[in-house]
Structure 1
Amino acid sequence: MEKEEKLFNKGFISITLINFIVYLVYYLLMVIIAVIAQDNLHATLSQAGLASGIYIIGTLLARLLMGKKLELVGRKAVLRYGSLFYLATTIAYLFIPGIGVLYGVRLLNGFAYGTVSTATNAIVTAYIPQSKNGEGINYYGLSTSLAAAIGPFIGMILLNLTNFYTIIIFSIVLIAATTVACWVFPVKNIVLTPEHRASLAAHTLDSYIEKKALFITFIAFWMGLAYSSVLSFLSSYAQAIHLVDAASFFFVVYALVITATRPLSGRIFDAKGENYVMYPSYFFLAAGLAALSFTTSSWLLLVSGALVGLGYGTFMSNGQAVCLKTCDSHRIGIALSTYFVGLDLGLGVGPYIFGILRSHLSFQSMYLVAAILPIACAIVYRLFYKKSDVIEEVVEEVTATTDTIVHSVHSVEDSVK
């Protein structure tokens, strides 16, 4: 019993490290691909942007399709063959003659990344004790957050010191090592009942989307949308306000704050409940974006980085924990894919939306608009969270009662006959 309650078991540590490398390569390539498209393939700015963004389309397709495949085919098979596909599509970057081929490779590479990351997000839940669900998800989430800070940092350094092919070889070595680890790692597949298997195999909306996770997915979309304003425009904004040097440390501060606070927020989640971490995450992100809009000095820029880390960084993992809390065990894969579709979609469409806003507003006004979104999320969360569960329970009870009545009527008819 004591062994089962141990959070830092071998399986948990291994899958967390695998997830870190998967996300590291994703972020590493994301920050350099637009530059490479322009410099090596002579792409226009819009073509380079599409080469970067088309990756998200592949990821979203994988999230939708692999959520159900995780349990039908088995988590082990999805992780192993997904990692092989991730390796093959990363190698494909070495053979790109033009921008059209780059689009195809990016789409397939995004699909592969989405497949593996969806698998790792589900697999880790089997190695987290139920009593430490929030804490475990937050420690696991560190692998994603640190990769988001370290990946771009390594990518920019390698871009300045080497060339595209050297960066790809470096990425291939990392993914090859991860692929070996995925084939060695002892994945725990869940056992499906015939009823669960039939429901997952059916080509219905329920087999692709977890309705119980839709509310937190809706919130995740708007939080991702707000955070995308930082990812997309921080560099341009820093140039405009002459704080480029300080901006280079923005995500370092972001990562340090997350590393320091994630374990604590996880323990609070388990001990006090989700509301004690969800509400602060909304207000910290709003405060960080507002501080960013008013910043005129390096120290305030870095403070905003810390606040954004406390906000978005805390939400990302604890939103995932809320998602797990609302779904049944045989639908964990679908629930997580639903949640990350919302998060990725917000990050994907955000740059386009804020780009339009930026053409009409100053950077400062744009970040103030972004700061409103987390506040709106807090209000919606306060009004509707848990109430959607109650409504669903009522519907289920009515359905069960109706089924009982129908069954009784049929029994009476059979008796009369």
Structure 2
Amino acid sequence: MLDPNMQTQRLWTSNFFILIIANFALFIAYYMLFPTLPVYIKEITGKDALTGLAMGSLLLAAVLFRPFAGRLIDTGKRKAVFLFGTAIFFLCTISFNLAPVLLILLAARFIQGFGWAYCNTAAGTLASDIIPKPRLAEGMGYYGLSLSLGMAIGPALGLFLIQGYGFQFMFNICAGYVFLSFLLALLIKYSNLKIAATKKPLSLKTIFEKKAIHPSLVIFFTSIGYAAVVSFLALFGQERHVSDVGLFFVVYAISLTISRPFFGRLADTKGYDMVVVSGLILCSLAMTIIYFAHTLPVFILAGMVYGIGYGAVQPTTQALSVLYVPMERRGSATATFFLFLDLGMCLGAVMWGVVAHYFGYGLMYLMVIIPTLLALLVYLLFPREAEKQQELSIANS
């Protein structure tokens, strides 16, 4: 039975719908560049060893600037920060056409990561403000669809465009999606929060939100495992002589899209513990299935299981990171969450490459279970705290 408060809290407002579409357009552009920039770098340099710099420079900037983005967002100007970051992202995307020189391209990519840190953190904070608190996990599940659908469409669209029309056309289309996101964000009716400017000096305590650390640690360990999937599964498929292993990601994206809102609603009605614990167990199970996979149907099964598991963990932990944080600290909480996610991705991409070199991809995927179980252990250290805070927030809403 639904909580009576949930029935009176309207989730689907015009602001929420516009924010989802704006974020969807932004994530299409974001993921269009992931598989295409390495190809572009190889084309202009002729060196495979340099192709990973495109992702590394963006993520490095995102990690460095997210805490400062959170601090600025906590002044109450959520929408303005989103527009600022989106504008930076747009200008850098356009600049890829102008400078087919590696150092200039990497500099533009680094600045683009700066813009991404601001617009992505601001978007998540806007979502947490717009969504009614008793329906926060459910709302974050729907909001997360913009990410998963962008993840599903962006890479395929980017590769299709460079193969059929070339890099310049692809960069222009990518920039067009960012500009569309900017225009849509202008339509969001959001007044700046009246938050007094903080007088606290810049420090770890003011940059990071303490109450968001626990769920952020959970996503940190989970994203270490996620990095192994997105970075090396195609190579593992080649090793196992499985063609069309890309279908794993199609099924993964579909499962992720379906599971996000379902598990979000389940977390709001039945509690966060059930959702996060189940999701982490499913993520571990998926790694075991990948280890034993020698045929395409088994890889597809793994993609379905992993999509359901990650779809349960990511939006629920993101909701937990802001659930019991005051409005004036939600920007820092969101920045803390995504910073830990980015760090996990960076660490995982480097670490699993070394592990695969010495032990092979098969054993590597078995070892991916370790950080996933560490995420489960970290979560189980504070499940009652999460449940009590959830009940408190619903009662006070």
Q: Give your verdict on TM over 0.5.
A: yes
> How many residues matched?
384
Distance 2:266 2:6 in 1: 22
Query: 332, 335, 338: which is aligned to 1:337?
Result: 335
1:339 is displaced (CA, Å) by: 0.5
1:173 is matched with 176
Gaps of 5+ in 2: 389-397
Pairs within 5 Å for 1:76-87: 76-87=79-90
Query: Which residue in the other structure is 2:204 paired with?
Result: 205
Compute the displacement of 1:88 (Å).
Answer: 1.0
Q: Tell me by how many angstroms 1:45 deviates.
A: 2.2
Distance 1:371 1:2 in 2: 36
Q: Which residue of 2 aligns with 1:148?
A: 151
Judged with a 3 Å threshold, the aligned counterparts in structure 2 of structure 1 residues 206 and 296 are, in CA distance, closer, same or farther, namely same
Question: Residue in 2 aligned with 1:130?
Answer: 133
Structure 1 window deviating more from structure 2 (134-143 vs 157-166): it is: 157-166
1:232 aligns with 2:244: no
Q: Deviations over 1:345-391 (max 9, x none)?
A: 1112211100110111121100000022212221232134556999x
Say yes or no: does 1:59 pair with 2:57: no
| TM-score, scaled relative to structure 1 | 0.88
Q: Is the 8 A contact 1:58 1:108 kept in 2?
A: yes
* Larger RCO, structures 1/2 (Cα 8 Å, 6+ apart): 2
TM-aligned CA deviation for residue 61 of structure 1: 2.5
Structure 1 gap segments, 5+ residues each: 391-417
| CA–CA separation in structure 2 for the residues paired with 1:2 and 1:379 | 31
Match of 2:186 in 1: 183
Q: Give the whole-Å Cα distance in 2 for the aligned partners of 1:284 and 1:357.
A: 23
Amino acid at match of 1:337: A
The sequence identity of aligned pairs, in percent, is 27
Q: Secondary structure of the equivalent of 1:94?
A: coil
Partner of 2:139, secondary structure, is helix
Whether the 8 Å CA contact 2:242–2:295 is kept in 1: the answer is yes
What amino acid does structure 1 have at the position aligned with 2:355? L
Name the counterpart of 1:34.
Answer: 38
SS at match of 2:312: helix
Aligned partners of 1:224 and 1:346 also within 8 Å:
yes
Aligned to 1:313: 311
Query: What's 1:411 paired with?
Result: none
What displacement does 1:86 show? 1.6
Q: Give 1:266's aligned residue.
A: 264
Q: Which region of structure 1 is more displaced relative to structure 2, 332-341 or 369-378?
A: 369-378
Partner residue in 1 for 2:105: 102
* 2:301 corresponding residue in structure 1: 303
Conserved? CA contact 2:89–2:178, under 8 Å: yes
1:319 CA displacement: 0.7
How far apart, CA to CA, are the structure 2 residues paired with 1:305 and 1:2? 33
**Contact map agreement 1:212 1:389 (CA 8 A) in 2:** no
Supply the distance in 2 between the matched residues of 1:77 and 1:272 (Cα, whole angstroms).
36
| Equivalence for 2:287 | 289
Are positions 1:16 and 2:20 aligned together? yes
What is the aligned partner in structure 2 of residue 407 from structure 1?
A: none
Contact 1:59 1:114 in 2 (8 A): yes
Instruction: Please give the alpha-carbon distance, in whole angstroms, between the structure 2 residues aligned to 1:291 and 1:347.
Output: 22
Paired with 2:54 and 2:108, the residues of 1 have a C-alpha distance of 9
Please say if residues 85 and 119 of structure 2, whose CA atoms lie closer than 8 Å, have aligned partners that are also in contact.
yes
Comparing 54-63 and 7-16, the one that deviates more: 54-63
Tell me the equivalent position of 1:414: none
Check conservation: 1:118, 1:336, Cα contact below 8 A. Answer: yes
Are 1:5 and 2:9 matched, yes or no?
Answer: yes
Q: How big is the shift at 1:106?
A: 0.6
Bigger Rg over Cα:
1
Q: How many Å apart are 1:250 and its aligned residue?
A: 1.1
- Distance between the aligned counterparts of 1:190 and 1:33, measured in 2? 38
Aligned equivalents of 1:111, 1:294: Cα separation in 2: 40
Over aligned residues, Cα RMSD in angstroms?
2.0
Q: In 2, distance between residues paired with 1:381 and 1:177?
A: 38
Normalised by the size of structure 2, how large is the TM-score?
0.92
